[in-house]
Structure formats: C-alpha cells, structure tokens
Amino acid sequence: MNEAPNMKIDLCGLELDNPIIPASGTFGYGYEFAELYDINILGSFSFKGTTFEPRFGNPTPRIAECPGGMLNSIGLQNPGVHAVIENELPKLKKCFAKKVIANVGGFSVEEYAKTAQLLDECEQVGLIEVNISCPNVHNGGMSFGTSCEAAAEVTRAVKRATTKPVFMKLSPNAADIAAIAKACEDAGADGISMINTLLGMRIDPKTRKPVMANKMGGYSGPGVFPVALRMVYQVYEKVGIPIIGMGGISSAKDVIEMMLAGATAVQIGAANLTEPFICRDIINELPYTMRKYGINDLKEIIGGAHNG
C-alpha cells in the first residue's frame, strides 16, 4: 500500500509521466514558466497556437474578467510557424526535454496543412493539436469547429500532412459537439482535445460599451468546468479515440473528475495565469488525491463514470 500511485498514461504512443498538460495560449512556448519551476515535471505541454503567417491578433483591451473566470480575445497572436521552428523550439529545448504538443491554428484548410507539414519535421513535437475554433475565411468566417463537414475536411488535410498523432481541438460553441467529434474520428483523427473557450462578452456600465475591443471573447476558468466535463462525458460515449479534457480544471480533484468522464489526459489553462505554479502544485497533490479516492493506477479510471 506504500507504493507510489502510478500516474503514467499513454497518449497515442506518447508515454506521459502524468496526465498534466498546460493548455495552449496559457503557457507561451514554455520558457517563461521554466524560470519559475522545472517544467520537465509536466506530462507535456501544448504550445501557443501557431499559424502559418505571423499574427498580432486583435486590438486591446483583449482581456475581461467574470466571477467564474476570464474572457480573452487575443486572436492567435504568434510569430508564425517559421519563427516558432527557428527561434521558439530551440529555446524550449534548453528547458524541456520531453515531447511537446504543437497547437496549430488556421484560416483555411490549406493553411492548417502547410503549418502541420512544417511541424511534422520537428523531432521535439510529439503530437499535433488542431484548433478548429478559427473562422474559415473561405466560408464567410464560420468556425471550422461548428460544422461536421469542415471539421472532417481539416482533419483529413492535416492527417495527410503529418505522420504524428493528430488531435482535433473542439469548440464548445457547436450545436452538437459529439457529432463533430465523431466526424473527426471518421476522418482519421487520432484523438480529441476539448473544450476550447465558450464565446462570451462583458459590457462596462460606465462607458456602456463592450469591455473588449473585439466585443466578444472566449470564456475560460472554473466556471466552465461542469460544461466541459459534461461534453467530455458525451463525446467519450460517441468515439473510441483518446480525449484530452480541459476547461476550468484547477485542482487534482478536477483532474480525477475529468478522467472519470473519459479524458486520458487533461490540460490546465486559465489557472496558469492566476496561479503560475498551479501545474506543479497539481502534480504534487495528485498522488495524495489518488490515495484519498482509492486510486492506485490513474489510467484505470479513464471513463470510469460510464461503468454500470
């Protein structure tokens, strides 16, 4: 009984020491956090959403607050995939010895494929996570993630461009997220990441204007956790591929709930921004929380809430 509980999990052949992965957009390209703690304790991490061309993103202010979390309308600021490969990945290599998750954004099917193809050649990249919450510029700006057909098309294009495992990161703003997940699986996806942020907004009563320059933005933080958990639970029943669960996770207990709903691994997002040591703290806390709930091997609880 004194043996340390097993936190190792397998994500499409990627062996992770634990299921804790900082989410894209909340951890930069890793090295900012390496100044705070040894980030090699992480299972992996998902780097800042990267597009083919460099992007500044939306005008500021692009952050707002709400009681259960925050909203952001960053708009995929990033230096572009070439600069990521030339500058960011070598910098990261100095402080992170494990495989990283490459988060890819795009505004056309071709852009996703071109970006994924370049990242396919990077040895440091363990898997590719495709953000399909972006607007499709060739289809009136509708998000790829709200249409089964568009999500499947991106999946097929990225799968053709890389031999690495491909995880499709789903938007909760779709009418039926389980249908989108199934469409991605049928199109060849190796896994599902979910959920991206929920579209929301805030208005300042003093100015009578939206707080963010872009008016609307993505809601994340502990307030979305029950929604994310429910969606992971629903998608787990529809697909056979692994799920990385995320959305408001802030504690080791949240991690266990998310895995019971069906997640193989989890991502921590907004919590990194208010509590910069949260991933380290959750990793340290997890063995004690596992003992508390009688868990010796974490991978055995994946989808456990569906039994019976």
Q: Which residues of the chain form contacts with other proteins (CB under 8 A)?
A: 25-28, 32-33, 35-36, 48, 56-57, 60-70, 72, 74, 77, 211, 213, 221-222, 270, 272-274, 276-277
Cα separation, 195 vs 169, in Å, equals: 7
Q: Which one of 12, 66, 122, 134 is the catalytic residue?
A: 134
Cβ closer to other proteins: 222 or 287? Answer: 222
Whether the upstream peptide bond of residue 278 has omega within 30° of 0, thus cis, is no
Cβ closer to other proteins: 15 or 53? Answer: 53
Query: HEC states along 84-125?
Result: HHHHHHHHHHCCCCCCEEEEECCCCHHHHHHHHHHHHCCCCE
Name the minimum Å distance from CB 262 to other proteins.
27
Cβ closer to other proteins: 77 or 173? Answer: 77
CB burial string 235-273: b at 16+ within 10 A, e below: bbeebebbbbbbbbbbbbebbbbbbbbbbbbbbbbbbbb
Name the minimum Å distance from CB 73 to other proteins.
9
Cβ closer to other proteins: 9 or 76? Answer: 76
Residue 184 bears catalytic tag: no
Name which of 39, 40, 45, 43 is nearest 9 in CA terms: 43
Name the minimum Å distance from CB 129 to other proteins.
18
Which residues are known catalytic residues? Answer: 134
